[in-house]
Structure 1
Amino acid sequence: MLDFDSAQSRLAAAGGHPSITENCPLVQARGRVLAQTLFATLDLPPADNSAMDGYAIRHADYEPGRSLPVQQRCYAGVKPQALQPGNTIRLFTGSLLPEHADTIVMQEDAEEVDNALTIHRPPAKGAHIRYRGEDIRAGDQVFAKGTLLGASQIAMLASQGYAELSVYAQLKVGILTTGDELVNPGQPRGDEHIYNSNGAMLAALVENMGARAVHVLHALDTEASLHEAFETLLQDCDLVLTVGGVSVGEKDLVKPAIEQFGGTLDLWRVSMKPGKPVALAHAANKPIVCLPGNPVSAFAVFTTLVSTLIRSMQGRAQVMPILQYGRLCTQKTFNDSREEFLRVSARPDASGVMQLTPHTQQGSGIISSLSWASGLARIPANTPVQDGAIVPYYDFQHWLA
């Protein structure tokens, strides 16, 4: 049986690095991956400015009880006059710091009457000033190639004047579910059928990672149906995910279908629970990952294994998210010949340690546990693990993003 870490490493390396880039407007860049390293075009802030609504003074002019004439009222976006000795200039948050001023007095610490300011609390020299370049300096690296862009990255790039970015083309993923027993939601269902939950689930997982689910197809258990599906998927997609049909039963026809397109399927028995049967193939120079048919197993395999392949094929610099750890809270002892990935709900305790509570039903058919859980706790194989044990935690928020 293939150990989990080896399976994860193999899948992470199974796809090629992206080569196609495109220009993307900044406002549409969320979820895209930078195809170039970007540098600061200007100091941030670009000039000394006020961090508060208040008054600019020379600190040397402050004396208890002394009134300072208000020389000017300067709003953000207006260039202030040079501050004259013994005067003050009324400023607002973001207003430029006047020449010769070295301190900002908060409006709450002073009182203006008849255009004269009386300061009630001794100010600290240099208080409430945002200095030029204290955030970033022109020429500094802002983000490296391979950075996944979110709202915070976009905010920084906007502050540097970037209106358009060079990003990698979105990864195109095709999804294929198989089985005569499946019908799509909304269609008539007999007692012999179940609704197909894998297709919609995998499409959502793919899209959440910033890739495009360009096809979500279902094939019957016939050679013709599978051949037609693979023909479409291999033509239009960069990566193909299949669900079910890769075992050794009479109707497990995915393997011969892949072989018809020149692919060779390597069926793994991964030492993980749920999710033991996983297969990897390449056809038309594109990776095909075959997931187990059970939705819970497919979800676990996607989270821990397939997500690394997608991040790699997207060109991300960080393929493996940071692995967290938490304390298991359970009345049960876990000890299996395979590594177990328990669906858990994580909550920090008073000291900040993550408390991992397993769902009461860990069967691979309990789909409701997926929406209940916040992540997966990894339990080592052949090792009794009880309440209080510190174990690795795969947070969905990080591993599925």
Structure 2
Amino acid sequence: MIQVNDAISIIKDNCFKMAAKKIRVSKSLGYILAESIFSPINMPPFRQSSMDGYAFSYGESRRFDIIGTSQAGDFLNFEIKKNQAVRIFTGAFVPDNADTVVMQENITATEGVIEINKMPLRFDNVRKKGEQVKKGELVLKENTLITPAAIGFLVSLGIKEIMIHDKPKVAIVVTGNELVKAGKKLPKGKIYESNSIMLKVALQQTGVKKVKTFRVKDNFEATKTVLKDCLSDFDIVLVSGGISVGDFDFVKESLLSNNVEELFYKINQKPGKPLFFGKKENTIVFALPGNPASALTCFYVYVLPAIKKMLGYEAIHLPKINRKISTDFTNSTGKALFLKAFYDDEKVTVLDSQSSAMLNTFAVANGLIYLPYDLVNIKQEMEVTVLPFN
């Protein structure tokens, strides 16, 4: 049995970034860049007007003759002389010998002539060539998450395709004779199976959508066969249940018989002690406890960082913040604790129903309090570590 920090380090050292592939920018939302992007053009590529108004060469005059119109998409380089101006619209090319644009709200217009009522400062309302980004300049660095704004920015630079890290394919293997699908009649001695749906939607929150669920009875040969197929077809295998030491827990034995390298088994923590982590070639395996709160805790603390590293994120772990605990608490277990909690700007409260089987307070929690195994007496108002997950 190992400590929490050791488990985190082992996982980080044994996960790899997914292969890079080229993808259309329009399809890249939620991926992580596998390359740094440099601008192929100046943006804007020419001097632009940032307002609807009139372009002129700054001087003492306030009265100008209108000699033409420049609208967005045109490239008419009017030769503007003294006391002359061009009607211009937002985004339009500013002629070379104009340096200022006056907003249309600040002029009085008569036939072919304008009078400026409120003179702008010189160079006002003119976007310089390359003002946003210059040709050859770094615009997005490697490992950047692609957002809607990033897509819009890349397309505005004329970039059509980029290199990103692919997303892993994940198998969820659910074990247990006692499990019944939601919606079916619940016989005596049975419970509804929720872990597969819970884990699937947690994966979807990370942007991982290639997820397939397998169900297997508590039988060694059946478990071994299902795991064999998953290990050859998926990048990540998540097993729910069957990893403890009961007479009908066959997951660890099945993994080892499929030549999965055991990297650790059991962590000195509560909930989630019987966690298995291993790998076979380029597939990583997490065998999670079957109790729902334990499974979800282990997902947030261990599985999520592994996935984020594979996706190409630089920051892979849940953030850590400090909050004052609202009540006294004693940790007499000798284990690290992950407590379902609710925090605000100042304090954090330990929620009820901390049992590893209970999701009722997990459903309203917005973080986990992390208490190291050697922190025993926690007094009200003491600062503790909180791991936000919302």
State the TM-score, normalized to the length of structure 1. 0.86
> Mean alpha-carbon deviation: is it higher for 319-328 or for 30-39?
319-328
Would you say 1:112 and 2:109 are equivalent positions?
yes
Q: How does 1:21-36 map to 2 (within 5 A)?
A: 21-36=20-35
Please state if 1:69 is matched with 2:62. no
In the alignment, structure 2 segments of 5+ residues that lack a partner are none
Q: What's 1:126 paired with?
A: 123
What SS does the corresponding residue of 1:270 show, helix, strand or coil? Answer: coil
SS in 1 for 2:275: strand
Q: Say which is worse superposed, 170-179 or 6-15, in terms of deviation.
A: 6-15
State the 1:150 CA deviation: 2.1
1:279 to 252, 276, 280: 276
**Separation in 2 of the partners of 1:37 and 1:74?**
36
The aligned counterpart of 1:79 is: 75
Q: Show the counterpart of 1:60.
A: 59
Q: C-alpha distance in 1, partners of 2:296/2:109?
A: 64
Structure 2 CA distance for aligned equivalents of residues 92 and 311 of structure 1: 45
2:166 counterpart (153, 166, 169): 169
User: CA–CA distance in 1 between the matches of 2:322 and 2:114?
Assistant: 56
Pick from 350, 361, 375 the counterpart of residue 367 of structure 2.
Answer: 375
Residue from 331, 355, 365 that aligns with 2:326? 331
Q: CA deviation at 1:396?
A: 2.7
For 2:318 and 2:124, the matched residues in 1 are separated by 38
- Write the distance in 2 (CA, Å) between the matches of 1:393 and 1:91: 55
Q: Is the 8 A contact 1:267 1:280 kept in 2?
A: yes
2:40 maps to which residue?
A: 41
Indicate conservation of the 8 Å contact 1:57/1:102, yes or no.
yes
Cα distance change of structure 1 residues 338 and 90 upon mapping to structure 2, 3 Å threshold: farther
1:180 to 177, 181, 184: 177
1:365 and 1:322, CA in 2 relative to 1: closer, same or farther beyond 3 A? closer
Matches of 1:100 and 1:355 in 2, distance apart?
61
Is the contact between residue 318 and residue 388 of structure 2 (CA under 8 Å) also seen in structure 1? no
Conservation of the 8 A alpha-carbon contact between 1:291 and 1:301:
yes
Structure 2 partner of 1:6: 6
1:225 pairs with 222, 229, 238, which one?
A: 222
The whole-number CA distance in structure 2 between the counterparts of 1:92 and 1:75 is 5
Identify which of 283, 289, 292 aligns with 1:292: 289
2:201 maps to: 204
Deviation of 1:358 (Å):
4.9
Question: How many residues are matched?
Answer: 386
C-alpha change, 1:131 and 1:322, in structure 2 (3 Å) is farther
Q: Contact 1:105–1:127 (CA<8 Å) still a contact in 2?
A: yes
* Aligned match of 1:50: 49
Looking at structure 1, the residues matched to 380 and 103 of structure 2 have their Cα atoms a distance apart, in angstroms, of 53
Residues 355 and 252 of structure 1, relative CA distance in 2, 3 Å threshold? same
Q: Which runs of 5+ in 1 are unaligned?
A: 349-353
From 384, 396, 399, give the equivalent of 2:389: 396
TM-score, normalised on structure 2?
A: 0.88
